[in-house]
Amino acid sequence: MEPSPAASAADTVAVVRDGYTFDEPSIELGVLAEADAAVTDARIRLPLRMLNRHGLVCGATGTGKTVTLQVLAEQLSAAGVPVFAADIKGDLSGLAVPAQESERLRARTSRLGQEWAPAATPVEFLALGGRGLGVPVRATVTSFGPLLLAKVLELNETQESSLSLVFHWADTTGLPLLDLTDLRAVLQHLTGEEGKGELKQLGGLSTASVGVILRKVSALAAQGADEFFGEPELDLADLMRTTTDGAGVVSLLELPELQDRPQLFSTFMVWLLAELFETLPEVGDADRPRLVFFLDEAHLLFTDASRAFLTSVTQTVRLIRSKGVGVFFVTQSPRDLSEEVLAQLGARVQHQVRAHTPKEAKALRQTVETYPRSRYDLTEVLPALGTGEAVVTVTGPDGAPTPVARTAVFAPRSRIGPTPAEVLAPGIQQSALMARYGQAVDRESARELLAARVERETPEPVTPQPEEWTPPSGSQGGPRPRPGGRSADPSVLEQLSRNTLVRQLARTAGREVLRGLFGTRRRR
C-alpha cells in the first residue's frame, strides 16, 4: 500500500529538517517550501566547514540567482568569512547599503519566519586596471609567468615553449617584465636588427613564433589589458580581510563592458585563482574557509576557452580546496561549465529552469540527472519554481549530499539592485586600498633598459686621436700614461669588467635587486 500524499509530505519535512541540522557553525539560505507553504522550522543550511567543496548557483534570467548570491555573501561576511565576487552587472553593489523596509518585504520575511533587520555589509570595490569606480587592480607580466600567460593567449605548444624562452632570456638579462609594453619591447628587440644575434643564441626560437606571440599580445592589449598589467600589484592578503568587529570584507570586482573584453576577465580570474593556490599554505579541513570566491556570469569564463585553459581551471578548482578557498560558479545553466568542473562542485542551488523548446527540455533532463534521488519529480518541479525559490542540495559534514530540498530563499538585509555611483564614490575614494593602489607606477623596466642599451651600443663618430706620448730618451721604463695622465695598461677593475663570467654574475645580482625593488619576485 502506497503512503498517502500527506504522509509523504510529512516524511519529506522530517528528512529535510534532520538532513540540514548540523552541530557546527553554518549559514542559512532559506526554509523548506512544501505544498506552496514555507516550513519555517525546516531551515536550509550550509555548513561553513564544507564550503571549500565549492558550489553552483544557476537558473534562468530573472529567477533570483543574484539575490541568492547576495544572501550567501551577507551571511558569510557575518560569520567572519571574507568573500570575493565578480559583479558583472553591478547588482551586488547594493550590499554596501541597508535595504529599505516595505510592506512586501515584511510580508515575505514574516512568511518565511526570517528574523530580518536592514543592514549593510562591509564592501571593498575593485576595478580591473581602474576601469570603473573601484580600487584599480593590477598584476605584473612576470607574476603571470610564461605558462599561464601562454594559456591566456591560447598559444600552441611550440609557441608556449618560445614564450618560456623569451621570459628566461629577459630574466637572465635583468629585464623586468612589468607590463605588456615591456613584453612587446623584448619581442620586438629579439626580432629586430639589434637582437637577431641573441635570438639565435636562444636556440629553438624562430622569428615566426615570436611574431605570432607579438600579435597575440597586441590583441590582448587591445581588450584593455594594458591597464591591468603593471604596478602596484595586488596583494592577495587584501582579499582576505576582516573588520575590527570580525565581519568578513566582501571584495566586489566591477567589470564594466565585460562582453567586449572577455579575455581580460579570464586573464584576471585564472591569475587570481592560481596565485591563491601558490601563496596560501595547506590547511586541510578548517572550521571555516579563508575565502569564498563567487564567479557571476561564469559562462563568460568558459566560452571559447582553450583546452589548456579549461585544464588549468579544473586543476586549480580541484586542488585549491585544501588551501581553504571555496569557489561558487553563478550562471544560467550547468551546461555553461565543463563536466570536469561540475564534478568538483559539492553544493547545488538550482533556480527555475525553462523548458519551452526541445533544446531546453533536453537541458532540463541533463540537469535533473546531476541530482541525487529524491521524492521530487524534478522535471516538473524545476520549471515550476517561482522567483526566489530554488532546489538545493549541499555537502553535509559527513561528506555525503544532503536531501534535495525545494527552498524559499531568505530576503537579503541589504539593498537589492545597484547602488548609484554618487553614493559609492566618496567611500571608495576614502578606502585605505585606494591610497595604496590608486596611482599606477611606471618604474624603469625592460622597455627603458633596452632603449638605453641600444643607445650605448650605437657607435659614436670616430674622432682623430692625439699622437701617443713617447718618453724622453734615458727615462726609466714603466707603464706609459694615456693623455690626461692615466696608465695605458688596463686596471684590475677594467679587466674584471671584461670577464664574461663576472658580467653574468653581475647581471644576476642586478636582476635580484630589481626584483626586490619592483615587486616582481615569484615563487615559481
d(CA 316, CA 314): 5
Q: Which of 97-111, 116-130, 327-341, 408-422 has the lowest mean pLDDT?
A: 327-341
Domain boundaries 12-135+231-437, CATH class: alpha beta
pLDDT of residue 125: 95
pLDDT in tens, 375-433: 889 999 999 999 999 999 999 999 999 999 999 999 999 999 998 889 988 999 999 99
- The pLDDT assigned to 152 comes to 80
pTM listed for this prediction: 0.81
Residue 383: all three cell numbers together: 520549471
Place of cell 570584507: 249
How is residue 166 written as a grid cell?
Answer: 623569451
User: pLDDT tens digits, residue range 162-218?
Assistant: 898 899 889 888 999 999 999 999 999 888 877 777 777 777 678 888 889 999 999
Residue 331 has pLDDT above 90, yes or no: no
- pLDDT of 471 reads 54
Tell me the pairing of strands 135-137 and 123-128: parallel
Span 503-517, mean pLDDT? Answer: 39
Q: Decide: 402 and 20 in contact? Cβ < 8 Å.
A: yes
Query: Are β-strands 389-393 and 347-350 bridged in parallel, bridged antiparallel, or unpaired?
Result: antiparallel
Q: How far apart are CA 476 and CA 485, in angstroms?
A: 16
Contact in structure between 137 and 252 (CB atoms under 8 Å) = no
Q: Among residues of the chain, what percentage have pLDDT more than 70?
A: 83
Higher per-residue confidence, 314 vs 94: 94
The predicted pLDDT at position 334 comes to: 86
pLDDT of residue 509: 42
Distance CA 163, CA 12 (A): 58
Report the 3 state secondary structure along 223-266: HHHHHHECECCCCHHHHCCECCCCCECEEEEECCCHHHCHHHHH
The 3 state secondary structure assigned to 328-341 is: EEEECCHHHCCHHH
* CB neighbourhood size of 261 (10 A): 21
